[in-house]
Amino acid sequence: MKREISYAEGILEAFNYLLTNHQNVFVIGQGLWSPWYVGASMKDLDVKYGKERVIDSPVSELAVTGAAVGASICGYRPVVVHPRMDFMVLAIDQIVNQAAKWRHMFGGKSIAPVTIRGIINRGGEQGAQHSQALHSWFAHVPGLRVVMPATADDARDLLVASVLSDDPVMFIDDRWCYEHKSQVVDIEPVRLDSVEPRVLKEGNDVTILGIGYSSLLCLEASTNLEKDGISAEVIDLRILNPIKVKNILKSVEKTKRFVVVDGGWTNCGMAGELIARVMENISISDLSASPKRVTLTDAPAPTSSNLEEDYYTKSVDIEQVVKTMF
């Protein structure tokens, strides 16, 4: 039976599913006994599953993440929650030097199947150190699977898949998606490595690829573009590493125009990467316009509402870029 749920509810359902069905799952991080900062997405987990399995922690990102890595090596499936990516950078050694390489450097004899939930929590005049979206960094690292859902059903199903994956997974969660709603059926676990970019809307004139929350903006833009007679195909990347491009290439070959929209900075970001992937894999004659990207303003996040207005991408920015291609 289909039901409609929000993204935040999707996350909560995933946690409930995992904690109920998998005794080796536990959750650890700051704020878990009072998870006000993640909306409803973790409500009452500590009450339902006990404070032994839903563990609030000292302000020690590095050791807490390392502890989760250690527990994952010993058979557990921990989810570490970092309320903000900005704080999580303190734990990068454990994520990138340890977890991502554990399997490879030990010749496959051990794995570190930890899931790290890094939350992008921006806007609201929070400023330079509370607004970062560093997903492109993690996508750079072989050994780490990087997941960034845009829709409620994906939020739920990809979180389940992340925790059940035998690899370390960076699950990136954008607060701006939390109210997004979609239809779901009951949870049927999928294999994370089988997940491909998803066509959210079909179209013929241009392929607009979104990443995380940007995919929702792309949908919005596509609706407006229709009024201008432009039929946009919208694709949601979903998995940032290892990256799969088959669906994207197929779409670009059809539409002959390609725009990537990402809420991260430009240089060495996900948007440029996808342009490069497309360019190396199609023949130039398949394109009728130079590929374009729409990215975050290349500056630290401001606090002033006046500047925030300019700083973040809006769907109209996407529409404008698309229109220059015709």
Q: Choose, by CB under 8 A, the member of 201, 249, 303, 314 that binds another protein.
A: 303
Q: Can residue 87 be called a binding residue for ligand TPP (CB under 6 A)?
A: yes
Q: Would strands 77-82 and 25-29 be described as parallel, antiparallel, or unpaired?
A: parallel
Provide the residue type at 76 as one letter. Answer: Y
What DSSP string describes 180-223?
-EEEE-S-----GGG---EEEE--SSEEEEE-THHHHHHHHHHH
Provide the residue type at 164 as one letter. Answer: L
Shorter beta-carbon distance to another protein: residue 76 or 279: 76
| Cβ proximity of 8 and 41 under 8 Å | yes
Going residue by residue from 62 to 81, which x/- string records binding to another protein, judged by CB under 8 A?
A: xxxxxxxxxxxxxxx-x---
Question: For a second copy, how many residues bind (rule: CB under 8 A)?
Answer: 57
Q: Can residue 124 be called a binding residue for a second copy (CB under 8 A)?
A: no
In terms of Cα–Cα distance, which of 86, 79, 27, 34 is closest to 55?
27
Q: Choose, by CB under 8 A, the member of 270, 318, 322, 325 that binds a second copy.
A: 270
Q: What is the DSSP letter of 300?
A: P
Shorter beta-carbon distance to another protein: residue 189 or 202: 189
Q: Choose, by CB under 6 A, the member of 36, 52, 58, 59 that binds ligand TPP.
A: 59
Shorter beta-carbon distance to a second copy: residue 44 or 310: 310
Q: Can residue 107 be called a binding residue for another protein (CB under 8 A)?
A: yes
Q: Give the binding range for another protein (CB under 8 A) out of 211-219, 220-228, 301-309, 318-326.
A: 301-309
Neighbours of 251 (CB within 10 A): 24
Per CB under 6 A, residues contacting ligand TPP are: 30, 59, 61, 87, 90
